Structure 1
Amino acid sequence: MSEPRTAIITGAARGIGAGIAKRFAADGYKVAVLDLDEAACQTVVDEIVANGGQALAVGANVADPEAVEAAVAKVADELGAPTVLVNNAGVIRDNLLFKMTLDDWNLVMDVHLKGSFLMTKAVQKHMTEAKYGRIVNLSSTSALGNRGQANYSAAKAGLQGFTKTLAIELGKYGVTANAIAPGFIQTDMTAATAERIGVPFDDFIEYAAKEIPVQRVGQPEDIANTAAFLCSEGAGFVSGQVIYVAGGPKD
């Protein structure tokens, strides 16, 4: 890249998002670290800057249209027009269907689906003007169905259809859109799942690793490596794909 491209990573204060933000900064991108709590993003920004990168902490609720517009405008003003977007922001509100509340359903849909829609709609203007763009949406192996996750599974499956449609609509502008569907990744979110079902996290990890062909659980860096490829200059002929990064076949 002659002039460093600007990337926005949502849900980047921790976990997979933080891993992607750090990897992209190491690859030379100017990175907007976006999350609900701007202060929480600063830790990631400080680490990136300490390692010689460029980064900006941005606080925004991705499900709020006005907040999204303001956040993208701030990134464009302070870092440059964003032409790379990773929609990673997510929440879980797991429960069996008969116990799942409407609020639990709506929140998961709002963050995953509405949030990805709003962020992509705001950023695509910069991509189409530049005749270049890379969009990566974070799906999940849960899109194939997972007990206690009717809301999350539906949202993650929805993101796959959203991704394929973006690829069709935006391809002529030099924009690619792909989805990554992680399997078991060791993060705060999977720790919360272990707590919900009453299993110590170390035991949860050990059990999960035995069920995975490569005999280990994933780390945020595993997803960051895949995102780095999909957002690279050389991935311009890969679009509309869902890549399961799960240590073995899932689809």
Structure 2
Amino acid sequence: MSQDIDRKTLKKPDEFTTKVKSLFDLMADHSRKILFLLGIVFVAAFVFALLSSRSNTRNEEAKGSLFQAKQALDKELAVIASAEAPAMQKKSAQPSPELVAFKHFDVNAKLAGSVGKLKTVIKQYEGTKAALDARMTLGDLYFNHGQYAASIEWYQQAADKASGTSDRAMALLGWGYALENSKQINNAIAVYERALNTGDGMIKGDSMLSLARCFELANDKNRAKLMYERIISQLPDSPHQRTAEDLKSRIE
């Protein structure tokens, strides 16, 4: 048996219908504004996707360019190693670039090709991780071959350009080493302190030992001793602690 529907039963559906109609009326009244806002959102999303795609492509190109530059470097070092290998060395043996990895020579003269390729990575792909790695590679290259003034320039650039804490800490540490080897002890101390203050745990021990070493070079044995004590206290059961204990006993 069917039941009659009275006005009370229809009250809520009527209210819902009225609200829906009001919403559509509002949208109709402001249709141009809504379409304009939707258009802005669509364009922004499209531009973001396009830029992200281009950025990823550029980063991959930069990685490839850096890889080629490092390959060229290995080949040039192998040629130098081959020329300087002992005469008794078997011809079948392939000289390793490591044979001359720390030999002092004019980098620009002997490694012009690979140095040029690394600089090209920096110029063409500025702002990428590959460009930062190219700067660090140049810093290491000049440092390892005894050209500390040139290495200072590249490490400093890397420290200034680095966006991540670890990258900046490593660049600062390399910069400090180059300054120390250039006998710029006070400047080295300042840079080592910056490296330590990054808070990066990977370079903490090396930074602290470097500071203590420079304090000794500056004839400030009290500061050196205090730094060794900090290392012993803050880095227990580590190679840095054992080194600090040995060095501290030497100056007491």
TM-score range, shorter chain: under 0.3
Q: Which has the higher strand share?
A: 1
Larger Rg belongs to: 2
TM-score by length of 1: 0.25
TM-score by length of 2: 0.25
Structure with the larger RCO, 1 or 2 (CA within 8 Å, 6+ apart):
1
Q: Which has the higher helix share?
A: 2
